């Protein structure tokens, strides 16, 4: 019985260390996934803002080159508007 007791204690301690290690690995993986998801959201937002600015730049060029004399570029709304009606001009 005396030789079984230290072996039993060692087995229990090893099992609890392994369980703690597995839990730490799970938490680390969960944190990594959360960080990756957040980075993806930020990157998507940055791409969206860039695309919006790029589209506005192209639209502004088209508006300024338009043969429609009533078309003007509205910098606050980033749209090409008709001077008479205030409605967006189809380019």
What would the pLDDT profile of 3-40 be if each residue is shown by its tens digit? Answer: 666 665 666 666 666 777 888 888 889 999 999 999 99
Give the whole-angstrom CA distance, residue 9 versus residue 81: 81
pLDDT at 23 (0 to 100)? 85
Which of 75, 68, 69 is closest to 90 using CA atoms? Answer: 68
Q: How many CB atoms lie within 10 A of CB 71?
A: 19
Q: Concatenated DSSP letters for 31-56?
A: HHHHHHHHHHHHHHHHHHHHHHHHHH
Q: What residues make up the domain containing 78?
A: 15-82
Specify the higher pLDDT residue, 23 or 74. Answer: 74
* Count: domains in the chain: 1
Q: Is 54 among the domain residues?
A: yes
Q: What would the mean pLDDT of 59-65 be, rounded to a whole number?
A: 94
Q: Is 20 among the domain residues?
A: yes
Q: Is 56 among the domain residues?
A: yes
Q: If residue 15 lies in a helix (H) or strand (E), which one and from where to where?
A: helix 4-64
State pTM to two decimals.
0.55
pLDDT at 11 (0 to 100)? 63
78 pLDDT above the threshold of 80? yes
């Amino acid at each position: 019985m005396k030789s079984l007791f230290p072996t039993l204690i060692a087995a229990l301690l090893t099992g609890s260390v392994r369980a703690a290690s597995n839990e730490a690995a799970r938490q680390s993986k969960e944190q990594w996934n959360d960080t990756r998801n957040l980075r993806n959201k930020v990157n998507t937002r940055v791409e969206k803002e860039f695309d919006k600015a790029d589209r506005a730049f192209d639209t502004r060029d088209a508006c300024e080159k338009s043969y429609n004399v009533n078309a003007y570029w509205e910098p606050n709304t980033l749209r090409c508007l008709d001077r008479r009606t205030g409605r967006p001009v189809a380019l």
